Structure 1
Amino acid sequence: MLTRAAPDGHTSRDDSITVSACQGIHREVECVQQAILLALGQDTSLELTDIAVLVPNIDQYWPVVRQLFDRTEAQLPYCAVETGRSSYCAYADGVRALLTLAEGRLTRPEVVSLLRNNCFLSSMRLTRDEVDQWVVWIEKLAVYHGFREQPSGSVRFTWMQAFRRLRLGHIYETDMAALGEEYDELALRTSQLPLPPYADLASLDEERVGQFGAILEALFARLEGVRSSQTGGQWAAALSALADTFLDDSQSYADARMRRRVRRGLETLREYDVCCGHLGRAQSRLTIEDVTARLEPLLRAGSGSHGRALASGVTIGPIRALHCLPFRHIYVLGLQEGSFPTRDTQTTLDLRAVRRRLGDLSRLEQQQYWFLETLVSARQRLSLSYVCRDLQKDQVHHPGSALQAVLDYLGEMTGERFPLTMMPLKATSGRYFTEEAGPWMTQLDRDVWEVAVAELAAAGQLSAKDQAQAKRSIARRQSQLPEASEEAQPDCDRVTVDDLYWALYNPVQATLRRHLRLYEADLTDADTTTFDQEPFITDKREALNLVLDACHEMIDQVGHGETLTQATALGTQWIADQHAMRQAAGHAPDEEFGNIDRHALLDKLGQRLKGGDRSPGLEDLLQNIAQPDYHARVSLGSEQRAGAFHCGNPEIAEIELAGDLRHVWRDPETGACEHLDVVRGKIFGSDPTVDALRAFLFFLTLKVADSAVPEEERMIGDAPFTVTLAFDGGVRSWRWSISMAASAQFLQKVVLVAGAANYQLLPLRNALDRNMAKPWADMTIAHEAEREQYARILTERITEENDKPWGAKNLKLQSLLPIEVPDDAYLRVRARFQLFMDAQPVRKFR
């Protein structure tokens, strides 16, 4: 890797690079410590300063590093680089948090930092789960900064409004439980209050709500008493009482030692008053900034650093600080998905999201560059590891994109899959000394292992059979990874229309979503506890959802007989009411920014109604709806919703199908149905888009349900159906005439794709690319060259999309598996999507 020389053939694998997976952070750090001790014993020329341990999040790893590296039986001298303030000592971190709150604006991240401090938790007798629920409330209640009213008199975005809304929500929700029919009316009135109540399942617990308000109100009240200038003696008394009340030093010896150090620092403030008296001066009044400047060196110096950085001991620090420094041995930890590279969150203040200029680097690109420099900085040995399972959440992790790229490269260089070392759960695991231990032994010294086997055998802890297996494993340390089964049976008896949609949209992604239980929301969650500024505009995604919901409300009104004018007025009023409710809840700007934001939402709604220059909008479409029989929602199978028209339980190949669809008009004479939906995006071409696929599958499922009932009870039967989509800038409609028998045959094929582990990479989204050939068109001789090149071009399109930053991918999950496009992709795409693409465009307007 360092020479970047392309070998003539495959290179032989050695132990200079190892990749391991550990169950939990504690086990990961423990394995690194053992590997360092082993390396020092093997190479007498290796110095401690030649070794570096790099982690993506030092605050997360530092407590575990100190616990393991400070053990007397295997103590390693080490030094820390940029460990962060909160990493050294919990008590020191708590004192800093209190000082920061005393001189700050009580912002969300400042308060959350104190709430999660171990000394604070112990003093207040709180658990991690309780504080996590508090953090959820803080986010939902839109708390940003400030305790009491702002200078303008408003309590929005403050902690006071959060306490009031949570208590009101508990009171109203408790009383509503006994109201019965009056619940909806009272709920509507309370949602329109200037300070709307907030309630969830956890807020029904009166003790928990009271504890949340009482502790934080007491904290903020005590902090207000130390904001003004005071003498040194007054500061010493006030801060000592504050720390004794909210911080507990009994958790560890380091905390108790830090508490004594802080007390001595506060005593120097009293000595300052004495010195002023001896000099004949009046006692000077100190500010909170003066006190913080006096205590900060004490907190930093007594935090437990070990030696000077890069001069004594193993160097431990974040990747961002050590990525460009060369070391003989480098150990990189925490390379699991979501940890490194981290998710690239965007804010409205980041202008790179609007327009990127030459030299602008996203967080993802910056971290990828750090990782590349780390790889080339290792001179002799490079050890990469990741946490494969979170033991607290019982959640499985996979290698991050950076680590997976290294594994793929190493596999190409060696001509075989690079072994991934799966570390046992415990360092004393017997799996180290059995036949199955081959993959885990790559980091163990042969001689040390033989001695350990002999000692266990002498102690009677290893049977003769295990001893023989251990000896064979010493000579053979090859990794054997299980091959994935190509065939799998459907693992469920119920398939939804949404499952069928994903199976056609991307079968690989559908398989991974089902088996790994991964969803798009899990990949895009951002940490909002660090937000300390109130919103200036409504989030782009939320704004679009508001506009789409307003359009759906208008469609319902027209479907139930209201005029277009009345429906338009209702949609406009709905936007205004929802924006006012979001303002009251703190999720939308107020005052002048609020007016600008509301007018922007109304303008977007108007654009949807008017359409574009070449295509009419939703307003013209609603005027041409002719069918009188309207259903706000139609449901199938077990997905029955309140107010929905239920059509039956269709079954295909012993699989129950279920789903629902909004806004369906039906001609009572012919049975022809039409569906109207408002979707994201703009219009491209005349072929059916992916947005119409879900409705298409629902109508086929509806035909299957009708085939099992008498003709007079059928909703659609063999009649045609139309799908109309209102895009941003126009409307498109497509009609299909498909029999019930043809619907059943097509769904049987799709159910097999959705139920099996189908790894044929034929995503409909990429197949509908405007630059791709159209396999569903007539297969003439002129298209023969296109058919031959179709698989290659489709692979290029998918590769280009996967090379985008993680946050911009539309097919995120497929990159978890090395799946290839089949050679006969042209014929397979034609067979799979022919029925969907055989749609007749409908011209609705003159």
Structure 2
Amino acid sequence: MLRLYQSNRLEMLAARLAALIAEPLGEPLRQEQVIVQHPGMSRWLSLRLADHLGICANLAFPLPATFIWGLFHTLLPEVSACDRYQPKRLAWRIHIQLQGLDADRLQPQLSDYLLGADEVKRFQLAQQLARIFDRYLLYRPDWIVKWQRGEAATPGDGWQADLWRRLAAEDGVHWVGLQLELNRVSEERFQAVLPPRLFIFGVPTLSPGYLEIIRKISPLTEVHLFLLNPCEAHWADIVSPAEQAQLSLGSGDAELYLEVGHPLLATMGRQGRDFFAAINELDPGGEALFHHNADSQLLHRLQDQLLTLESPQSEPMADSSITIHRCHSPMREVEVLYDQLLAMLDEVPHLTASDILVMSPDIDRYAPLIKAHFSSPGSRPKIPFRISGTDLLQSMPLATALLEILQLKETRYPVGALLNLLEYPAVRQRFGLDEVGLEQLTQWLKLAAVHWGRDGESKQSLGLPCEQGNTWQAGLHQLMLGYAMPADAEQLWHQTYPLDAVEGSETQWLGGLLAFCDAVFALEERLSVDRSPQAWLTFLIALTEQFFFSDEESEQQLESIRETMHTLVQEIHEAGVQQKISFNLIRHRLRELLTISQERGFLGGGVNFCALAPMRSLPFRVIALIGMNGDAFPRQQPEMGFDLLSRDFRPGDRSRRTDDRYLFLETLISARDRLLISYVGRSQRDNAPIPPSVVVDELSDTLRLMVGESGLQRISFDHPLQPFSRDYFLSDSPLFSYSAEMREAASWVGSGTRTDLPLVKASLPEIEGESEIDLQRFLHFFTNPLRGLAEIRLDLDLHQGEELPEERERFILDRFEQTGLEQDLVEGLLSGGTAEAFLQRLRARGHLPHGRVGEQIFSQMERRASALVKRIQAFDQGDALQPLEIDLEFDDLRLVGHLYGVNPGGLLVYTTDRLYPYLLLRHWIRHLLLNLLKPPGVAVRTRLLEGERSGEFRPVDLARPHLENLIHHYRRGLDAPLAFFPATAWIYRERLDKGDEERAIGAAQQRWLGNRYQGGDVDRPYHRLFWPDRPLLDERFFETSNEILQPLMDHLEWRE
């Protein structure tokens, strides 16, 4: 007996199912069978049954294919427990068969594709063929029968028929054949294995083969079929306007009597229309459980008109039960959604977060945005939420880390890729490292100039010279040799430079780095071997143990990854594949399995976020659809040129596009109180309109017929580009926001003036207990006082992360880097070293570009350095003295440290480049200290050498007041941002000394703002952070510049 139950509400179908289950079976312990199309439906239905029955137990929720194959397996002894024609298993079998297929019989495009295809590409083709063959089994069983008889079924099927016969010869147990085999099974045996009653719930469509099985078993047991139907009227004969226009071109007149009915049913309901036409033949009567809404709410009016097959009726009343939102980006969609949900939770009586479902055609794209915004709503109330349907790569970072490890074999081992792996705590901890250790390793690798490449041989394998420089091997050898040799050793050992960087207990970090690198580089050889599926499973599990530390936080992720690996190997085993498999193919399929949507957390409490996918039409009081963009939904399924179904359409055939259209229709009838739709409808670049999904357009057209153009405008919202737009906070605006932060930002935006807020608005609290100033910190502060404030008082380093090792070899050196190397060369030459020895050290350290480019750069460096050395040696400065100890009292502070570089001739400062203002200020302070100390036998002057000119700081009679002034500004600069910018201040004072204040201010202003060729001081990161107003050269700046620089310039004398 087959009984059909139809309703436009799943809740009513669930209540009817509960009433039937409440009727006891003859066998109390017999498990009830409820067939559903999706695990999410089984979760929802079990909760509903528990509501009605008090408990939901001893029920199984198999999928249709699982139930029917289980039936085959029980009734027919030759049928195994798994279906080897299931697409994921069939793909492996086709992959093997393609190797022996006659290429001459293939389509030219496929023949060319396979000719140049590697294993992964061949497997991808096999996957496409497996999906197509699965559809042939379900929707073209007559073709399969003909192919098995050696006959042609449709034009152009030759090579596919040949491939099919190869598969059938290997294993002929498939769906079509088993349907025929069922005819020889006796009714007594059928009844012995069938359950006393069978429930099929909420399945939106069934293939003709499934319907035939239902027809066969319905006389032998109770079959109860519960279907969600948007319309209570007979709607099998309605057609869309496009179909009606096409039919009107035919020769007959009967087609002209086909009705359009409700436009949404006509345009979106083709899948349901064909299915209900077929299903009603099994039980023309059935039980109708349709629900009519009792109010005039727009959403309910739409649902009732669909239910009764009425054309849209115009009533100019529009309400907020349906709203459509156009935004500029996915992030703006999520921000708008949050405020809209808050409003609904406030307005809709008794609405809770778990009554809300949010779906997106591309949930993986929106999931990170949802997590970011819903986890940190700022001043707004927090809304609990759960995201399901995302892949493991979204929810489990270690899955991403595993794929990155497996991908390294295909890379040049760039330093950034390996360091990125150590950013994962589980990887870092596995090799005995922590965050501090990783930061230190990063600095070591930068000092060792590691860029890429395992060693010179790996470079040679890529067709490059066998050059060890800048490889991992060269860098690690530098670090190990530096630890083994005495401190400050400069002697090369076998062309390796001893990098003195590792000290004491830091060796554990170096040991962890060496172990990690050994494990990574060993993979290259281990992954080059083909293995059996079981051997790959053993290998991959051992790999996770080798690279990931297991603790309470990571074990859940690792267990899910291991389960995926077991699934992969089981899939291959069930396909009957015995051959060894390459690493590339294993990695490809493992990546696919890790990106399959996971159903964890669905209906787990809070707002439910999930993918907008077929069989997900569950009822919720509020349903929101986000990301309903024109290119996202309905989803396009690329048509394969060898898909024979595309040439032979039959009623009941499915396509991704018609599935999605019907899914949208089911979603319309599943919302109980509110329906919200959003999409990216405006360009962020120029605000140009972007069309939504065609189904949104069709819904808008229907709503326009119901409420008129003005009514549609009242429920359609164009949102601003930014969440702090004033439009959200105007009393007469339909837009709104619950964010206090955005309200404050909007007040600034709406003030009509540009006001950049500095990081520090007022003076910071005084530094408690500071009685000493370290000289080096004091000198460093005046190179950039705002950076000093950030680093000393706020522990803020804007350049953190910029010191990461570079992944590309250097072909040029920037100006400051070359100057630094030239300075080192000058010191080496002055100490008696040779340029050749210095060149060898530079090459060993990897600090020079390789080849002739590096030779030319060094030649230029040597000329500049040698010229400066000659000038230095022309001065008779005498031998260097021991550093002078500094311990000077200034009111309640003491300046402590050591003054280096003092000799009988005083201080000598030199550079091959130029002495920039911040350097002159630094050496002016050193000069003041020398003048204050006045060590016996030492000249109190500082000589300056730069480029082609020389100069000096003349002796200072009253050095202490100048130092006290600088200490005063130092303390001011640590309490609040100091209005002193060395480069701009120097230009101002330099021009002011020439007697033209107006030109001095103009020059300073130009240096501050910059021009089209050169950036200004205002663009420097710390200046933007603390001093964002543009321009800001006021009395504070002029006064501070004069106080700091005037004494310096009064004692500075240059000679060309």
> Can you list the C-alpha shifts for 1:229-281, whole angstroms capped at 9, x where unaligned?
44556545544554465555974555534432331122233345x35x7xxxx
1:600-611 to 2 correspondence within 5 Å? Answer: 600-607=857-864, 609-610=866-867
| Aligned match for 2:979, one of 756, 761, 769 | 761
> Can you list the C-alpha shifts for 1:50-102, whole angstroms capped at 9, x where unaligned?
9999999998x998889999xxx964255899x9x854324432442343135
Q: Structure 2 counterpart of 1:697, which letter?
A: I
Q: Structure 2 counterpart of 1:744, which letter?
A: R
- Compute the displacement of 1:295 (Å): 2.5
State the partner residue of 1:300.
Answer: 595
CA separation of 1:808 and 1:546: change in aligned 2, threshold 3 A:
farther
State the partner residue of 1:17.
Answer: none
State the partner residue of 2:80.
Answer: none
User: Would you say the 8 A contact 2:455–2:473 is kept in 1?
Assistant: yes
State the partner residue of 1:523.
Answer: 799
User: Would you say the 8 A contact 2:443–2:804 is kept in 1?
Assistant: no
- Compute the displacement of 1:298 (Å): 1.2
User: Would you say the 8 A contact 1:91–1:255 is kept in 2?
Assistant: yes
Q: Structure 1 counterpart of 2:1025, which letter?
A: S
Q: Which runs of 5+ in 1 are unaligned?
A: 1-30, 177-182, 278-282, 331-370, 387-402, 421-481, 558-566, 611-617, 633-643, 668-672, 684-688
- Compute the displacement of 1:837 (Å): 1.9
Secondary structure at the aligned position of 1:629 is classed as coil
Secondary structure at the aligned position of 1:293 is classed as helix
**Is 1:269 the equivalent of 2:572?**
yes
**Is 1:76 the equivalent of 2:325?**
no
Q: Structure 2 counterpart of 1:41, which letter?
A: L
CA separation of 1:549 and 1:147: change in aligned 2, threshold 3 A:
closer
**Is 1:629 the equivalent of 2:629?**
no
- Cα distance in 1 for residues equivalent to 2:425 and 2:777: 44
1:197-236 to 2 correspondence within 5 Å? Answer: 200-201=501-502, 204=505, 212-214=513-515, 216-218=517-519, 220-221=521-522, 224-230=525-531, 232=533, 234-236=535-537
- Cα distance in 1 for residues equivalent to 2:366 and 2:879: 56
- Compute the displacement of 1:499 (Å): 5.9
> Can you list the C-alpha shifts for 1:564-610, whole angstroms capped at 9, x where unaligned?
xxx6xx45235314313313xxx545xxx244314312313313555
TM-score by length of 1: 0.56
- Cα distance in 1 for residues equivalent to 2:520 and 2:789: 50
- Cα distance in 2 for residues equivalent to 1:419 and 1:157: 42
CA separation of 1:501 and 1:37: change in aligned 2, threshold 3 A:
same
State the partner residue of 2:854.
Answer: 597
CA separation of 1:629 and 1:799: change in aligned 2, threshold 3 A:
same
- Cα distance in 2 for residues equivalent to 1:544 and 1:211: 35
> Can you list the C-alpha shifts for 1:280-321, whole angstroms capped at 9, x where unaligned?
xxx4x54333223322221111456953379976979xxxx9
1:800-815 to 2 correspondence within 5 Å? Answer: 800=1010, 809-810=1019-1020, 812-813=1022-1023, 815=1025
User: Would you say the 8 A contact 1:146–1:158 is kept in 2?
Assistant: yes
State the partner residue of 1:676.
Answer: 909
- Cα distance in 1 for residues equivalent to 2:375 and 2:399: 17
**Is 1:738 the equivalent of 2:956?**
yes
CA separation of 1:153 and 1:597: change in aligned 2, threshold 3 A:
closer
User: Would you say the 8 A contact 2:980–2:1037 is kept in 1?
Assistant: yes
State the partner residue of 1:259.
Answer: 562
- Compute the displacement of 1:660 (Å): 5.5
Secondary structure at the aligned position of 1:774 is classed as helix
User: Would you say the 8 A contact 2:478–2:496 is kept in 1?
Assistant: yes
Q: Structure 2 counterpart of 1:675, which letter?
A: L
User: Would you say the 8 A contact 1:240–1:263 is kept in 2?
Assistant: no
| Aligned match for 1:576, one of 820, 835, 839 | 839
CA separation of 1:827 and 1:630: change in aligned 2, threshold 3 A:
same
User: Would you say the 8 A contact 1:265–1:295 is kept in 2?
Assistant: yes
Flag the structure with larger Rg: 2
Q: Structure 2 counterpart of 1:96, which letter?
A: L
User: Would you say the 8 A contact 1:249–1:255 is kept in 2?
Assistant: no
> Can you list the C-alpha shifts for 1:465-524, whole angstroms capped at 9, x where unaligned?
xxxxxxxxxxxxxxxxx97349968974334566666776665555455432446xx525
User: Would you say the 8 A contact 1:53–1:314 is kept in 2?
Assistant: no
> Can you list the C-alpha shifts for 1:671-706, whole angstroms capped at 9, x where unaligned?
xx46332164489xxxxx553222222222222223
State the partner residue of 1:544.
Answer: 819
**Is 1:96 the equivalent of 2:403?**
yes
User: Would you say the 8 A contact 1:236–1:267 is kept in 2?
Assistant: no
CA separation of 1:578 and 1:98: change in aligned 2, threshold 3 A:
closer
- Cα distance in 1 for residues equivalent to 2:421 and 2:841: 34
State the partner residue of 1:749.
Answer: 965
State the partner residue of 1:702.
Answer: 930
State the partner residue of 1:816.
Answer: 1026
**Is 1:41 the equivalent of 2:345?**
yes
- Cα distance in 2 for residues equivalent to 1:542 and 1:773: 28
- Compute the displacement of 1:765 (Å): 2.0
TM-score by length of 2: 0.46
Identity %: 15
Q: Structure 2 counterpart of 1:766, which letter?
A: T
User: Would you say the 8 A contact 2:884–2:899 is kept in 1?
Assistant: no
Q: Structure 2 counterpart of 1:144, which letter?
A: W
Q: Structure 2 counterpart of 1:733, which letter?
A: G
Q: Structure 2 counterpart of 1:746, which letter?
A: H
State the partner residue of 2:920.
Answer: 692
- Compute the displacement of 1:827 (Å): 6.1
**Is 1:657 the equivalent of 2:657?**
no
**Is 1:493 the equivalent of 2:768?**
no
- Cα distance in 2 for residues equivalent to 1:222 and 1:203: 31
> Can you list the C-alpha shifts for 1:511-561, whole angstroms capped at 9, x where unaligned?
455432446xx52532636x544545556543321111222344x45xxxx
- Cα distance in 2 for residues equivalent to 1:825 and 1:243: 59
Secondary structure at the aligned position of 2:945 is classed as strand
- Cα distance in 2 for residues equivalent to 1:123 and 1:654: 51
Secondary structure at the aligned position of 2:992 is classed as coil
User: Would you say the 8 A contact 2:478–2:497 is kept in 1?
Assistant: yes
Secondary structure at the aligned position of 1:732 is classed as strand
Note the aligned Cα RMSD (angstroms).
5.8
Q: Structure 1 counterpart of 2:962, which letter?
A: F
How many residues align? The count is 596
Secondary structure at the aligned position of 1:301 is classed as coil
- Cα distance in 2 for residues equivalent to 1:419 and 1:494: 29
- Cα distance in 2 for residues equivalent to 1:503 and 1:202: 28
Q: Which runs of 5+ in 2 are unaligned?
A: 1-334, 601-608, 617-622, 633-677, 685-719, 729-734
User: Would you say the 8 A contact 2:724–2:746 is kept in 1?
Assistant: no
- Cα distance in 2 for residues equivalent to 1:212 and 1:501: 36
- Cα distance in 2 for residues equivalent to 1:384 and 1:604: 59
- Cα distance in 1 for residues equivalent to 2:796 and 2:860: 36
Q: Structure 1 counterpart of 2:961, which letter?
A: Q
CA separation of 1:510 and 1:655: change in aligned 2, threshold 3 A:
same
CA separation of 1:831 and 1:666: change in aligned 2, threshold 3 A:
same
Secondary structure at the aligned position of 1:227 is classed as coil
CA separation of 1:491 and 1:735: change in aligned 2, threshold 3 A:
same
Deviates further, 143-152 or 752-761: 143-152
Q: Structure 1 counterpart of 2:835, which letter?
A: T
- Cα distance in 1 for residues equivalent to 2:933 and 2:560: 74
- Cα distance in 1 for residues equivalent to 2:361 and 2:1014: 31
CA separation of 1:826 and 1:578: change in aligned 2, threshold 3 A:
same
CA separation of 1:233 and 1:547: change in aligned 2, threshold 3 A:
same
